[in-house]
Each structure stands twice: as structure tokens, then as C-alpha cells.
Structure 1
Amino acid sequence: MDLIEYETILPPRVRNRLREFGVVMDMARLPFAYLRPRHKARPKHRIILLPGYGAGDLSLKPLAMFLRRSGFNVRTWGLGLNDASMSRLYPRVRDRVRSEYERYGQPVILLGWSMGGVLAREVTRDHPEWVEHVITLGSPIIGGPKYTIFARLYQSRGRDLDQVEERIKARYRKPIERPVTALYSRTDGVVSWEACIDKWSPTVEHREVASSHIGMGFSRKVFDILLDLLDDVVEKKADVN
């Protein structure tokens, strides 16, 4: 791990930040996503959706509706707004995932948007037996808030972002043992795309998408990619069984 050097990562460019306003068009096109035929119901494959910083279950409604119409058993996290407090949220997400696993006796699929993806990865790192697969959308897995547009906000609150980054790097000494698919966009206006690339974890597969950061939760194209990914997870599980 010490031999791997990340390039100098810069905050998202101004033009990428401006592209975030394109989410309005993503929302306008979203109704067409629900016209696709329903897939075969897969009630055993339970998915928990985790929202990004400053968001809650409401932000996940369009994606949840799409996946349910595609036959998946989907739950939003039910923990209110994501305030990016790992010390507060981590144990709550951990207990949520454990409860789902113990109740149904099946590992869950975790799908986390931005900071939600960070939480999904860390719970999976510590408790791989509860999780089948992790999918992240624009999640800053390097540096935490350091390489996002919220960096100055954190600094104004007295947070040492270099120290945060070092703590995150230390976590990689314990590898993630379950498969992770990381979606990222080079036009992300909230999180630097380089901060979404995990060069340390052998179980991570990266997938580039054409989307803004906010648009990942409302883009029909991203939804279709997610459906294909989830179909692959289900098929692999069926082959194993």
C-alpha cells in the first residue's frame, strides 16, 4: 500500500460545478425510466440505499421506485439526513445492515450515493458476512471531504482534512472482502473523480458514467447501468447456489 502514490487531486473544476444544474434535465427525463417492463421479481435480493451528504430518504425515492419496478426488494436507510458524521452514523448503519441480515438470513446489497457509499464500504469492511455486494455512486473514498466542494466548510469548522485523510488511509490496512463496484464521473462537480478511484482494494471494479454528481440519483442512463450491474450480481449468486 505504501508504494501506491495518488496523483495530486484538485477540487472539482468550476465548469463541472456548473454542470450540476443539468440535474433539472435529468429529472425532466426521469418519467421515461419507469416505462421499462418489469423484470422478474427477486425478493431474496434485498437492497439498502444510503443517501449522500445533506440528503435523506427522499433523495433516494426515484431510484428506489425504479429498482422496485424492476423486481428488487429495496429499502432506504431510514436514518434521517446524512450529516457525514462517521462516529454517529457508522454504528447506526451497521445495526441497520445487521438487522436486515439477521431477519432474513441473507446478505444484503448496499448501494450508497456519495457519503452513503463511504458508509457502505466501511460497514462491509468490518462485517463482510452481512453484505453480498457494494455499489457506490461518486463516493469520495480518498481524502473524505478534502477533495470535494465541502472542503472549506469542514475547515471552517476546525477539521484538519489532512488528518482525516490519514485516518482513511489507515483503514485500508484492513481490506474489503466483498465485491465493490464504484461508479464515477469525470464531470462530477461535487467530488473530484480521482478521489472515487480505489487503487488499494483488490475487490473493487470501477465504472465510468456520464453524469453530474447530483444527477447520479436521477439519471435514466445511470439507472440502466445500475440495473445491469444488479442483474449480474443476481446471476452470479444463482450460479454459486
Structure 2
Amino acid sequence: MGEVASRFRNLQLAETRAEVLRRLELAAEPAPRDIGGPSWRLMLGELSALAEPIRRQFRHTEIARTATPRTVMLLPGFATHPIRMRYLAHQLERAGHTVKRWGLGFNLGPSVENLALLEGRLESLAARAGEPVYLVGWSLGGLFARELAKRRPELVAKVVTMGSPFSYNPRANNAWRAYHLVAGHRVEEPPVQADLAAKPPVETVALWSPRDGIVHPRAARGLPGERDREVALRCTHLGFAWDPEAVAAILRELEPS
């Protein structure tokens, strides 16, 4: 039995090593010649997020109570946990909205299984609310939100994406190498069928920023026909989850048109 267990462990180790090497090869692929992400100057600007917990101590934001409370599901960005959207959730709750997490923990990329779990989560939230749910997705979370709305439009009131790369080119960002390494597949070859640029059959709003240091503005802004509206902000990519301008924009999207 000891020899069998040892062989099994060695086989597992070899498979793990092979998978790590495969992912490293994906991450080392050459960048597209004519397509790239934001400049390194903008990328460095993302470091300003490190000071946000300090700045927040001196910021007091007035939040008006809404007359039309919504049920909102927040979907986190790539490799982030819902806790990174806790500040945004708190501000929406101050306005009177009911805010729910997506229920999957860290966002490590799409799979058949996690999309099915999200559908079930959406169904449950809509049933409890007695009305369609508002989906607010940050970066990769916005791609999940758009795909959910395509699959179950009757359960979704509106989709709001924040710096989400649904248009242009899937490698027009500074995170695709990290994505290949973590998710284990190319950004243009997800393990689920998806036409990222196709607009969901519900109202869809794209928040984007020319100061985004991760995702190219053309990818997050989209083209007419790929979203209903686009709104330009002046925050960093990481700032979509806490910048006062971003919070105000999302609160406006939760109000009646």
C-alpha cells in the first residue's frame, strides 16, 4: 500500500508541475503587435489605491436616501474578493438599497460550474426580492454580469459595468498575462460559450475612465450597439470600487430614468 500511495503522490506532483509549466507558457505568450493596455504611467497611477484607507478617514460623503430601493448584486473583479467592494456596498446600503454578494468568493475566471451557481444565486435573489435584480460588475465581474443577463434577462433589471473589457480586443489590458496564469486559459478562449461584445437584452451601462491603468478605454467603453450608454469617469481602475464619483454614478443608475 505504501508503494502505491507513493506512486500516486508522484503522479499528482508530475501533473501539478506540468500544469504550472503550461500556465507559465500561456502567460509568456507574445503581446499583440498593434494592441496593448494603458500606458505604464497610468498603470503606476493605480498605486494611489494604497492611500485610499487613509483618505477615507477624512472623507465624509453625503448619501441621499432613495425613494426606490433596489436589490443589487455586486460582482468583483479578476482575482479579487467581494470584500474589496465592501465600501461600495456600504454606500449603496446607506442610500437604502439591499446589496448582496455574488456568493463565489474570489473571482478566478469563468467556468461552466460557477456560471451555473451564479444563475442559481440570481434566481434566488430575484425570488426573494419579488422583482429583477440590478447587476453591478467591476472589471471581469462586469463580464459575468453581462453574460448572466443574456442567459436570464427576465431576472435582471439593469447591468452596470465598471472598467469591464467587453469590447475591442481581449488583450487590450495590462492583466491578460496574470489572467492566463491564474485562470489557466487564454482570455479569448474561455471555457464557456460567450460573445462578450454582444449587448444583453436589458439596459446596459458601461462606466469607463481615461485614467484606467488596467483596461484600455476602448475595451471598457464599448461601441453603440454593444451597450445602451457609456459614462466617462475620472477614477483609476481600482478606484471604481471606492471613488466618490464612481459611487455617485452607480447610485444614479439605480434611480428611475
In the superposition, the TM-score normalised over structure 1's length comes to 0.81
Counterpart in 2 of 1:21?
47
**What's the secondary structure of 1:207's corresponding residue?**
strand
Question: Structure 2 matches for 1:156-167, cutoff 5 A?
Answer: 159-163=185-189
Q: 2:71 aligns with which of 42, 46, 51?
A: 46
Q: Which residue number in structure 1 is paired with residue 201 of structure 2? A: 177
Partner of 1:201: 225
How many aligned positions are there? 221
Whole-Å Cα distance in 2 between the matches of residues 178 and 214 of structure 1? 26
1:26: Cα distance to partner? 3.8
Name the CA shift for 1:27/1:219 in 2 (closer, same or farther; >3 Å): farther
Match of 1:122, as an amino acid? E
| 8 Å CA contact retained: 2:208, 2:233 | yes
Tell me how far apart the structure 1 counterparts of residues 52 and 232 of structure 2 sit (CA, whole Å): 18
Q: Where does the alignment leave 5 or more consecutive residues of structure 2 unmatched?
A: 1-33
Deviations 1:5-60 (A, max 9, x none): xxx542221011000011234443335665415414644x2011010011112111
Corresponding residue for 1:212? Answer: 236
Provide the alpha-carbon RMSD of the alignment.
Answer: 2.5
2-structure distance, mates of 1:120, 1:162:
18
Residue 67 of structure 1 and its aligned partner are, at CA, apart by 0.5
Query: Any idea what the Cα deviations from partners look like across 1:131-162, whole Å, max 9, x if unmatched?
Result: 00110100011367522222223456874455
**Match of residue 222 from structure 1:** 246
Q: From the superposition, tell whether residues 170 and 216 of structure 1 become closer, same or farther in structure 2 (CA, over 3 Å).
A: closer
Is there any run of 5+ residues in structure 1 with no aligned partner, and where?
Answer: 1-7, 237-241
Distance 1:216 1:228, change over 3 A: same
Match of 1:12 in 2: 38
Structure-to-structure mapping, 1:90-239, within 5 angstroms: 90-142=115-167, 145-155=170-180, 159-163=185-189, 168-169=194-195, 172=198, 175-199=199-223, 201=225, 203-231=227-255, 235-236=256-257
Alpha carbons of 1:53 and 1:127: their partners in 2 closer, same or farther (altered >3 Å)?
Answer: same
